[in-house]
Amino acid sequence: MDNIQSVSVVSPVTKAIYSLIDSRIALVGAAKKTGQVVKAYAKALEQDFNLVDNQGNVTTKWYDLQGALRKGVKAERAEFVTAMEAEGIFTKATIDVYWQRVKEASGYITAGNRAKGDADIDAKTLAELKTILNRIFNDETDSVSQTVKPLLLSAFEQLGGDVMKLGTNNK
């Protein structure tokens, strides 16, 4: 009985392609797990540092702690920075970005992403209406703006404005 052996020849180009594909697959696999790892770390921080009331409701998130209550969070952040620096590939900026991602995974909203509340919108609208109405009051021509002035005054009052403080003499 003859033994038949199968021999395959892999060229250096084919090896490089497999290496590239394997490397890409490994990177994508690790990257897709990063979010899960960040969330797990955030959850651990919440469990260790969030303040809760007697019913278990969170009263203060770990990233909002102040003064002496923040001591444990600061120590953990220092440990986090030390561990990241020990890897030797992370800059301060990268470490800060990772810490920010952990905070966001716990519910922190960065200043640039915070939605303005209705009160802020109303206050801004009121201030802008006051500017517009003062402009119309100070205009002595018979402009189209004079015809919409009653509507604008009504809106100004509904937003809490005092019409007696409008115009040239009552700023």
**Which of these three, 89, 113, 137, is where a domain ends?**
113
In a domain, 4, yes or no: no
Same domain, 29 and 80: yes
In a domain, 77, yes or no: yes
CA distance 88 to 95: 11
Q: Is the pTM of this model over 0.85?
A: no
CB atoms inside a 10 Å sphere around CB 15: 10
Same domain, 149 and 76: no
Domain that includes residue 41, residue range = 12-113
Per-residue pLDDT tens over the stretch 7-28:
555 555 566 667 888 888 888 8
In a domain, 122, yes or no: yes
Per-residue pLDDT tens over the stretch 95-105:
999 999 999 99
CA R_g for the chain: 31
In a domain, 21, yes or no: yes
Same domain, 132 and 100: no
**Amino acid residing at 73:** V
In a domain, 170, yes or no: no
Taking residues 19-45, report their average pLDDT. 88
